[in-house]
Structure 1
C-alpha cells in the first residue's frame, strides 16, 4: 500500500468520467491531487478541501498549456513528495468521419489534447520532480490504439502515438520513472454516448457499440478507475509499456 502522506498526483480531465473516478479514489486514500481541466469538479472540491486542488486550463490549446507549464505551480505542488504520479486522462474522440469530412482546426485541437499535451506534461513532470525517488506516468490509452476503426483515424492515430511514446520512454530507462500507456477497457462514459450518437456514414461500427450498451457490457467509470489505481501503485506497474487494464497484474 502506498504511503498517502508522501504521494502527490496530477490528473487531467478530472471533472467527469474515468478522470473524476480516479481523482475521487486517490483522494479517498488520502493522496493530494491536482486536477487539470477546462472546468472544475465542485463535488470533489467540497468533499476534499484540504487535499484537492484544481486549475482551469484548456488542455486542447497549446498556448494555454505552455503558460501553465511556465508557472511554478507544478514544482510547488510536487515539493516534498517521495512518490509522484501523472495520469494523462483527458482526451477527445472527434473529429469522426472520413478524411474529406475532417475539419483541420478540429484535428489540431484533438492532436494537442490527445498527444501533445500528455507529452508536454510528461516532460514538465519529469523536470519538476528530479529529486523524487518514485515517479510514475499513466497515459490513458484505448483499444483504438491497437485496432483501427473506420472514421476514427484521428482518435486511433493519437492513442497509438501515446502507446509508442510510452514504449520509447521505457527504452530510455529514465532514472526512477516508470510509464505505461494503459487502455481502460470499454467504459460507460460520455464518449460512449457520443459514439452511439454518431451517424453510421461517419462511423460504420456504431452498432457494435450500441450492442455493448444494450447488453450491459460496459464497465462503469468507478470499476475502470479502481483497476487503473490498483495497477498504478502495484510493483508490476511499468513492466510493459502498453497494457490493457483488463489483463494487467496488480499483485
Structure 2
C-alpha cells in the first residue's frame, strides 16, 4: 500500500493504544484524523502538518451524528486512494452484576462501544467512494468471544462489533475490507481500571493482577505496530474476526 495517498481515522487517539496507533501511522507518513474528547498536544507539536484533530464526545451518538453532517471527514479523505478507520475508543464500564448497572452508564457504553464505531464505518464507506481501498478495523476484545462475570455490557458491545464485521462482509463490497480484531491484553489505563475494581464487581480481577505481575501485558506501542502491519497487509479482511495473538503466532 502506498502511504503517501493513505489517510487514517483513529478514535481515542489521546492515550493508550489509540495514541500509539496515531503516532506510528504519522511516523509512517500516513495523515491521521484523530477523534476524541480532547487533543493530543504532544503529537500535534510533532506532526503539525499531518495530524488533524476533532474534539467530540464519542459516547454521545447524537453529537457524532451531528459532526458527520459536516464535511470535515470528506475533506480529510479527499484524494486518498486508501482510507483506514481504526475504531479504537471504548470503555469497560459499567462493571458489575446486572442489578448494579446504572442506566446512564449502559447508554454511554453502548454509544461509545457500538453506535459510534458503526456510524463511522458507514460514513467512511460513503465519503470515500473514490478510494479504491477502504479498510475498517474494529478494535474488539477476547470478551467478545468469551463471557466474563461482571462484564455483561463490555462483552455484549464488543460482540456487536464482531457480528457487524461478519455481516458487512456479506455485502460483498470489493472496495472495502473489514475485520474486528482482538488486540490481546495491553498495559493501558483500562487495565489499571480493571485491577482497581472490587472482586464483588469483577470476580476475575486476580487473573489480571497476575498478568501484570508476571509481565504478560503487551505495550501499547507493540500492539499498535502489530495492528497497523495487519491492517496494511494483504491478509486483512480475509476473515471478519481475528485475534492479533493468533496472527503473531502464525508469522
TM-score under structure 1 length normalisation: 0.98
Q: Name the structure 2 match of 1:143.
A: 142
Q: Name the structure 1 match of 2:201.
A: 202
Q: Counterpart of 1:91 in 2: which secondary structure? A: coil
Is structure 2 residue 187 aligned with structure 1 residue 188?
yes
Is structure 2 residue 114 aligned with structure 1 residue 115?
yes
Q: Distance in 2 between matches of 1:17 and 1:44?
A: 13
Q: Distance in 2 between matches of 1:69 and 1:183?
A: 27
Q: Distance in 2 between matches of 1:124 and 1:248?
A: 28
Q: Deviations over 1:147-191 (max 9, x none)?
A: 110000000000000000001111111130000000000000000
Q: Deviations over 1:12-39 (max 9, x none)?
A: 0000000000110000000110000001
Q: Distance in 2 between matches of 1:174 and 1:112?
A: 26
Q: Name the structure 2 match of 1:64.
A: 63
Structure 1 residue 216: Cα displacement = 0.3
Q: Name the structure 1 match of 2:14.
A: 15
Q: Deviations over 1:68-120 (max 9, x none)?
A: 10100110000000000010000000000011100001100000000010000
Q: Counterpart of 2:59 in 1: which secondary structure? A: coil
Q: Name the structure 1 match of 2:225.
A: 226
- Describe how 1:155-194 pairs up with structure 2 within 5 A: 155-194=154-193
Q: Name the structure 2 match of 1:37.
A: 36
Structure 1 residue 44: Cα displacement = 0.4
Q: Distance in 2 between matches of 1:186 and 1:233?
A: 22
Q: Distance in 2 between matches of 1:46 and 1:198?
A: 35
Q: Distance in 2 between matches of 1:179 and 1:228?
A: 13
Root mean square deviation of aligned Cα = 1.0
Q: Distance in 2 between matches of 1:169 and 1:74?
A: 21
Q: Distance in 1 between matches of 2:46 and 2:179?
A: 30
Q: Counterpart of 1:157 in 2: which secondary structure? A: helix
TM-score under structure 2 length normalisation: 0.98
Q: Distance in 1 between matches of 2:246 and 2:81?
A: 28
Q: How many pairs were matched up?
A: 250
Q: Counterpart of 2:174 in 1: which secondary structure? A: coil
Q: Distance in 2 between matches of 1:201 and 1:173?
A: 45
Q: Distance in 2 between matches of 1:223 and 1:78?
A: 27
Q: Distance in 1 between matches of 2:65 and 2:166?
A: 25
Structure 1 residue 5: Cα displacement = 1.1
Structure 1 residue 63: Cα displacement = 1.7
In structure 1, the gaps of 5 or more residues are none
Q: Distance in 2 between matches of 1:246 and 1:97?
A: 28
Q: Counterpart of 1:10 in 2: which secondary structure? A: strand
Structure 1 residue 4: Cα displacement = 1.6
